[in-house]
Chain A
Amino acid sequence: MMALQRYSLVVLLLSSLSCAPFRDSPYSDELLRKERSLNTLQNSRLGDVEADGVLRIAVMTDTHQNYKDMDEVVYRINRTADVDFVAHLGDLTNSSYNFEYDQFLDSWVTLDAPHFVTIGNHDAVGAGTSLFKKVFGPSNFYFESATKRFIFFNSANLEDREGFSPDWLLEAVQSSTKSVIIFTHIPLQDEERFAGATAQTFEDVIDDPKTLLVLNGHNHSYLLKDQNGTALLQAPRVQGAQWLLLEISGTQLNIIQHNGDSTWVTLKN
C-alpha cells in the first residue's frame, strides 16, 4: 500500500508538470511565443510624437539574461509619463537560442509605449538572425516624425554579414530631409570591428550635418561624447535596472539616468 501511494505520488507529480510544451530543439528557429514583425507593428502605433513639443525616448540595452532587472526597467518606464517610444539597443540575448528570444518577449511586450529593437552581436549568432527577422522584422529600418528620422542600424558585422550594410546607413542618413537620430548596438567608432572604408563611411555618417545623435550599447557603461556637434551616447546595460530617458525639445537634449542624474546637451541646429 505504501508503495502504491508512493507511485501514485510520482505519477501525480509528473502529471502536474505536464503543462510543459513540446519544444523541438534549442537550436531551431521555432518559438513558443506568437509575436511576429514587432518593429513593423509598433510603427503603426506611433502617433505624433512631437505633438507636445517634447520628444521622450526611453532607452535600454544589453539585457543578456538579466531578466529580473529588465522587468524592473519595464516597470519604471511604464510608470514614466508621456514616453513616446522605447528603444532597445541590442543584445537582448546571450547566445540567440530560441528560448532566450521567448524569455525576452515575455517582458518586452508588456511595455505600454511603442517599442523598437535593434539587433546586437549576441542576437545574431546561432539561429539569431532568423529569429530576429521572424520576431522583429528587418534588422535595418527607419521611421519618421514631424522633424526627425529615427534609424535603427544592424552593426553586427561579424555575426550577420548579410544584414550588415554601412552603405545602407549612409544612404538612409543622406537621403533624409529631416534631422537624424541613429540607434545601433556597436559603437560606429569601434576600432576592434570597423576599419578602412567601413570606418570612413561611419565617420561620414557621424559628421553628416543632419545627424544629431548616435546611440549605442555593447560596452555596458554610460558614456557621452561630442564629435563636431554630433552627440555620441552610449547607454549602460540593463543590469542594476539601468536605463535612460531622453527628452528632446528643440535643440536641447536632456539625458536622465536611472539614478536621476541629468545632463543637458545642445544638439545641432
Chain B
Amino acid sequence: MGYAQKLIALIMVLLSLPCSAEWLGAASVAGFFGKYSLGVAYVGGHHETELSLGAYSNASRTELQSNLAYRYSPWIVPVLNNKIWHPIQVGLFGLFSWDEKTYFTDSPSYYPTPGYYDQTALRLGVEFGTSLLLPNNQWSVAYFIRVLDSGLIAIYNNDRKDLQYYISSSLSLRYHF
C-alpha cells in the first residue's frame, strides 16, 4: 500500500469516530511537522489526536511528510467566560516522509547487505504544549515543544545536555468546528 493510500485509510478511521467529539482544523509552523503543515485534530475530553500534512524543502524541491500526534491534557481549566485552557499537553508524535527516492523504510537492495542502513523515513518523538481557546470560542492557539527520538538517544549515549539541535518549537492556529 503506497503512502497516499495509507494516509487516506487513516483519515477514514478518524472520520469514523463519534461525531459528538470535537473536531479542529490546525495550521502550524515548524515543530518538525514541516515548514508549514495543515491538519485535523479530534478532541475527546482529555485526549487529542492530530493528523497533518507538512511541507519541507530539500535541494530546492518541495516534499511532503505526514505527521501523527497523540496528546493528553491532565488538566482542563475553565477560564474567563467558560473558555477552556489546556495548561499542559503531553504527547507522542510520529513523522513520515513521502519522498521515497530519498528516505526509506527498508534499506534498498542495491546496498551490499540487507539492512545496510537503518530506516530513515520514520521519526518519533515526544512533545509538550499549551493551548488556549480565544474569546470568540472558534479559534485557539497552541505552542508545542518537540524532541526527536534521535536526540534522546544521542543525549543518553553522550552525557550531553545540549538539546538545541534536537528540539523544535511550533505554533499552531486551530479552528473549532
Contact = CB atoms under 8 A, between A and B. Distances in A.
Contacts of B30: 22-24
User: Chain A at the B interface: mostly helix, strand, loop or mixed?
Assistant: loop
Given A7-B75, A22-B29, A103-B165, A27 B65 contact: yes
Contacts, number: 135
Nearest to A31: B165
A28 B57 contact: yes
Interface residues of B, number: 54
B102 A11 contact: no
Given A10-B88, A14-B143, A21-B164, A95 B95 contact: no
Interface string B20-53: 0000000001111111000000000000000000
Given A24-B34, A127-B58, A99 B77 contact: no
B154 interface: yes
A218 to B, nearest CB: 12
Interface string A13-43: 0100111111111111110100000000000
Interface stretch (A49-57, A65-73, A111-119, A244-252): A65-73
Contact of B57 (A30, A66, A158): A30
B75 to A, nearest CB: 7
Interface in B149-165: 150-151, 153-154, 157-160, 162-165
A167 interface: no
B142 to A, nearest CB: 11
B32 A192 contact: no
A20 B168 CA distance: 5
Contacts of A11: 87, 130
Contacts of B169: 18, 20-23
B128 interface: yes
B175 interface: no
Contacts of B153: 65
Contacts of A3: 75, 77
Interface residues of A, number: 43
Contacts of A29: 57-59
Nearest to B123: A26
B59 A10 contact: no
Interface string A111-147: 0000000000010011101100000000000000000
A14 B54 CA distance: 24
B103 to A, nearest CB: 6
B118 A28 contact: no
A101 B33 CA distance: 19
A153 interface: no
A261 B31 CA distance: 48
A20 B164 CA distance: 6
Contacts of A67: 154, 158, 160
* Top 4 A-B residue pairs of the complex, sorted by shortest distance between their CB atoms: A23-B168, A22-B30, A25-B56, A28-B56
13 contacts: A14-B88, A14-B129, A17-B145, A20-B145, A24-B35, A26-B32, A27-B95, A29-B58, A30-B56, A32-B164, A65-B157, A68-B158, A97-B150
Interface of B: 29-35, 54, 56-59, 63, 65, 75, 77, 87-88, 95, 97, 99, 102-103, 110-112, 117-118, 120, 123, 128-130, 143, 145, 148, 150-151, 153-154, 157-160, 162-171
Interface of A: 3, 6-7, 10-11, 14, 17-30, 32, 65-68, 94-97, 99-100, 102-103, 106, 122, 125-127, 129-130, 158, 192-193
Given A18-B143, A66-B157, 10 more contacts: A3-B77, A10-B87, A10-B130, A22-B168, A23-B32, A25-B95, A68-B158, A99-B166, A103-B165, A122-B117
